[in-house]
Amino acid sequence: MRIVIVGQGPFGERVLEALVQKGEEVVGVFCPPDRRGEPMRSLAEKSGIFLFHANRMKDPEVYDVFKKLQPDLVIEAFVTDIIPQGLLDIPSIGTICYHPSLLPRHRGASAINWAITQGDSRTGLTIFWVDRGIDTGPILLQKEVEIGPNDTTGSLYFNTLFPLGVSAIVEVVELIKRGEAPKILQDDSKATYEPPFDDRFSSIDFEKSVRDVYNLIRGSDPQPGAFTTYKGKIIRLYDASLILKPDEKVSGEIVAVEEGGLQIAAKGGILKVGKLRVDKGEKTGPKEFAQAVDLKIGDRFGK
């Protein structure tokens, strides 16, 4: 079975590596020409696999190369570009894609961010057959996982959904080769779609409950970083933990500045933040941060 892999970053590299080690017939790799494609480029060249740097997948030369490669199966391994219908029509078996949620819930580019921010206790991954829509194609395989109470977007992805996704793609390739790969239609009545998670959604409202604020910080960690303000500066918060206790202070008030965490009052508890940074600056610990911005106990964020 002739396989083409379209992807980028460490995930694309690991998928390529896993399939090469399994002895699969990978006939082509398509990745961006910038540093996002570097991991896949190096491995493809080392493995003697045809490599194409695609600025945009809709470029005419991409179609021509796809056609010449005559793939049976195309695998999307972390793709941020839109694959045009002309390319989807080329592989004889079809195109499959990894998505880090239990579709049809959390369609869109920031599924993990939204799952944590919205307080989901479980999520997972889906391998689906690509069609014209955004994450709308029939489901081939799903795996469900728990979202831990202290998980961030980063920890959930890198510790769980990343390695599980690589093994899931290897698993579905075997199913496809055996002719046992299902095509289960998604229930659109249960679908949710959220836009890319950016600063439009990561601003902290200390009038919300401490758990809501905590989920926002976790869901924004490491990117884009949940933020508040202090003395006119944007302050981003990371590495948070939650202490549930009755309200004692004004929400947003600084309760303690310790080496292990800066404590912030919120409705129903305390947020303990391990790392902070001033907008696009470097992350620092609580004491270093407080000294740099002249922050004292009793001051308030978001005032």
Mean pLDDT, contiguous 10-residue spans, the chain (303 residues):
97 98 98 95 96 93 96 96 95 98 98 98 98 96 98 98 98 98 98 98 97 98 98 97 87 94 96 95 96 96 88
Look up residue 226 and give its two tokens.
């949940």
Q: Residue 303 has what pLDDT? A: 75
Buried b (16+ CB within 10 A) or exposed e, 128-166: bbbeeeebbbbbbbbbebebeeebbbebbbeebbbebbb
- Taking the model in full, what pTM does it have? 0.96
Is 179 found in the same domain as 224? no
Domain, as residue range, for 225: 210-293
Q: Residue 15 has what pLDDT? A: 98
Is 49 found in the same domain as 7? yes
Q: Residue 43 has what pLDDT? A: 96
Is 266 found in the same domain as 131? no
Q: How many domains does the chain divide into?
A: 2
Q: Residue 245 has what pLDDT? A: 86
Q: Residue 51 has what pLDDT? A: 97
The domain spanning residue 266 has which CATH number? 3.10.25.10
Q: Residue 279 has what pLDDT? A: 84
Look up residue 26 and give its two tokens.
């990978």
Residue 23 lies in a domain: yes
**Cβ-count burial of 208 within 10 angstroms (0-12 exposed, 13-18 middle, 19+ buried)?**
middle
Q: Residue 280 has what pLDDT? A: 83
**Count of other CB atoms within 10 angstroms of residue 70:** 13
